[in-house]
Amino acid sequence: MAGIKIEGLNKFYGQTQALFDVTLDVEDGEFAVFVGPSGCGKSTLLRCVAGLEGVETGKIILDGSDVTHAEPADRELSMVFQSYALYPHMTVRANMEFGMKVNGFAPKLQEERIAEAARILQLEDYLERKPGQLSGGQRQRVAIGRAIVKNPKVFLFDEPLSNLDAKLRVQMRVELEALHKQLGATMIYVTHDQVEAMTMADKIVVLNDGRVEQVGTPMDLYHKPVSRFVAEFIGSPAMNVFSADGGVQGLTLDPKASYVGCRPEHLELLPSGKGQINATVRVKERLGGECLLYLSTPGGGQLVARVDGDDKTENGAEIGLRIPEHRLHQFDSNERAL
C-alpha cells in the first residue's frame, strides 16, 4: 500500500476552474473521505488522482513517484464506481478476473486472488452467477472484489453506496470499514453524505467550490469547524447558526462575532422566560431514543434541539434555551471561526 501527496492542483474545464490549488496528504493505510455538496469538486479531484482527468498545474505523488501525467493503468490504483460498471454478460468470476487477464497475471495467481476476494466479501456461492442475478449489495461487493484482486496501492471509491436503499447502505458501510481494517489499505472515498463521512473516515476532506475548506478527523471537524460552512455541513441535524445580535442574551461574545452557533444536542431546555433564547416548539419529531424539536424564535429564527426520547415537551410549547459557554461557536463577518 502507499500514501498520496497532492500539491497545488488546479483543474479547468475550458474557462471554468473546477479545483483551486488543492494541497493534501493521504497517509499510507488511511481511510480518507472527500465530502461536500454537489458540484464542490470532490469527484473531479478523485478522477484526477485516478488519471481519468488531466490537470493544468500541480503534482500527484503516489508512493514517492510523480504520477501526475501517468496513464490510469500505470498508477496501480483501483476504482469502484457508483454504477458498479460490471459486464452483464460475464459471471462474477469472469468480471473479477478480467482485469487480471488483461494485465497478464498468471492463471494460478488469478484463481488464488479471486478465491481470497470471494472469501473476504462472502461471494463464494455467487461466482458463477451473472450480475443480473444479484442484489444491489451483492453487485457492489463484486465491484469491490474486482478492485481487490488487482492488489492496488490505493483504492478509490466514487459514491459507491448511493444506489442502495437505506438499510443496505448502513450494512455496506460496516462491511467497507471492516474491509479497510482487514486489508490495511489506503482508501479514498467520495460522498456527499456527511453521515457516511463521519462514520467511516480516519480523515475527512471538506471541499467547497473547488477548494479544500478543512481537513481533519471526524471529531475535529465536528467540534472545531474552521468556518460556518463546515459547521453547518458536518453534523445531522446541522449546527444552529444565527446572527450574533439576533435576540441572544447573556452570552459573552467576541467583539468581532457576527454569527454564533450551537449543536442541537448542546441546547439546554429551560422554562419559558429563562435562559438566553425564547422559542416555540413548531414540530416534535420522535425518533425512539431521541427527539428533535424544531423551534421558532420571536425574531423569526429557526432552531433545532436534540433531546432525550422520553422528553415531555409538546408541540406549541413555549420554552427557554441556554447555550453553555463551552459549546458556543463564533464566526466573523467572513464566516470564519473565531
pLDDT tens-place string over residues 45-60: 999 999 999 999 999 9
Residue-wise pLDDT for 156-196, tens only, equals 999 888 877 888 888 888 888 988 988 898 999 999 988 89
> CATH says 237-331 is which class?
mainly beta
What was the pLDDT predicted at 209?
Answer: 97
* In this structure, CATH architecture of domain 4-232: 3-Layer(aba) Sandwich (3.40)
Nearest 5°: the CA angle 220, 224, 225 is 105
**Tens of pLDDT, residues 11-45:** 999 999 999 999 999 999 999 999 999 999 999 99
List strand residue ranges (DSSP E) for the chain, in order: 4-13, 16-26, 31-35, 57-62, 65-66, 77-80, 154-158, 186-191, 203-208, 211-216, 240-243, 259-262, 268-271, 277-286, 290-296, 302-308, 318-322, 329-331
Return all residues near 28 (Cβ < 8 A) that are at least 6 apart: 1, 2, 3, 186
Q: What is the mean pLDDT of residues 201-220?
A: 97
Residue type, 38: S
> What's the mean pLDDT when you consider all of the chain?
92
In sequence order, what E strands does 57-115 have?
57-62, 65-66, 77-80
Indicate yes or no: pTM above 0.75. Answer: yes
Segment 110-131 mean pLDDT: 90
Band the pLDDT of 276: cuts 50, 70, 90.
Answer: confident
Mean pLDDT of 101-122: 88
Q: What residues does each domain of the chain span? A: 4-232, 237-331
